Amino acid sequence: MKIFLDTAELSEIRRAADAGLIDGITTNPSLVAKVADGDVTGMYREICEAVDGPVSLEVVAVDRETMVSEGRKLAAIHENAVVKVPLTEDGLKACRDLVGEGHKVNVTLCFSVSQALLAAKAGATFVSPFVGRLDDISGEGMQLIGQIRQVYDNYGFDTEILAASLRHPMHVVECMLIGADCCTLPPKVLWQLSKHTLTDKGLHAFLKDWDEAGTAI
Ligand code: G3P
């Protein structure tokens, strides 16, 4: 399963990329608004240069024509750029247009299997179902990932399932067991994956024993 980092914070992106742990980046307008300093295009270019993999950059228009025009500009920033469009009627049409021009497209804000079907029919490279936001309203976010997996496998769709809005390590484990193609994680969740209290306890005991023996490597 590919791991993407869900952030526009360059320091976090460089920290994870430096560890060789991430396969790409996803951003959205809310994440970008937290760190934007005016030159968004420059920031997007720096993010694309910091990783060797797809970087989702989202349009902010809501009509097909303007989405396509924004999408072309975003795709032109860097070869890693993937245009992110919302799962609306206009977004699906813009997806089809942009894919037809050879661009990669991530269809985002997916909350149902029927929406995921249409994203695949529109030729999306990625579909982003939002697990945590469904859980937030007492839905079954992870069940959605499983159902989309089954439908895509039943019919041979090659759109990749990019599980988004993941909030904790068990979400990531469940995505792997279900067979999501990719998951996107906030930096905090990425680093939580490495933590285990028995690792810390074991390391502490090893080093204490070593020190007491007074040996050196
Ligand atoms: O990038 C989209 C998604 O991952 C957002 O997550 O936590 O704001 O629902 P969240």
Q: Which of 169, 170, 152 is nearest to 161 (CA)?
A: 152
C-alpha distance across the termini of the chain, in Å: 37
Protein residue closest via CA to atom 3 of ligand 1: 165
- Counting ligand 1 atoms within 8 A of each CB, the residue from 32, 47, 59, 130 with the most, and so the one to mutate, is 130
pLDDT value, residue 10:
97
Secondary structure (3-state) at 179: coil
64-77 and 40-50 helices, crossing angle to 10°: 50
Residue 81, burial from CB neighbour count under 10 angstroms (0-12, 13-18, 19+): buried
pLDDT value, residue 82:
98
C-alpha 207/C-alpha 211 separation (Å) is 6
Ligand 1 site, residue 27, Cβ cutoff 6 A: no
Ligand 1 site, residue 56, Cβ cutoff 6 A: no
pLDDT value, residue 55:
98
Ligand 1 site, residue 135, Cβ cutoff 6 A: no
Tokens of 154: 């039943």
pLDDT value, residue 17:
97
pLDDT averaged per 10 residues, the chain (length 217): 98 98 98 94 98 98 98 98 98 98 98 98 98 97 98 98 98 98 98 98 97 92
pLDDT value, residue 53:
98
Classify 2-213 by CATH class.
alpha beta
pLDDT value, residue 147:
98
pLDDT value, residue 37:
87
Name residue 161's amino acid.
Answer: I
Ligand 1 site, residue 152, Cβ cutoff 6 A: no
pLDDT value, residue 7:
98
Between the CA of 213 and the centroid of ligand 1 the distance, in Å, is 49
pLDDT value, residue 32:
98
pLDDT value, residue 215:
87
C-alpha 45/C-alpha 154 separation (Å) is 38
Give me the residue spans of the domains in the chain: 2-213
Q: What predicted TM-score, i.e. pTM, was given to this entire model? A: 0.96
Protein residue closest via CA to atom 8 of ligand 1: 165
Secondary structure (3-state) at 50: helix
Ligand 1 site, residue 111, Cβ cutoff 6 A: no
Between the CA of 87 and the centroid of ligand 1 the distance, in Å, is 15
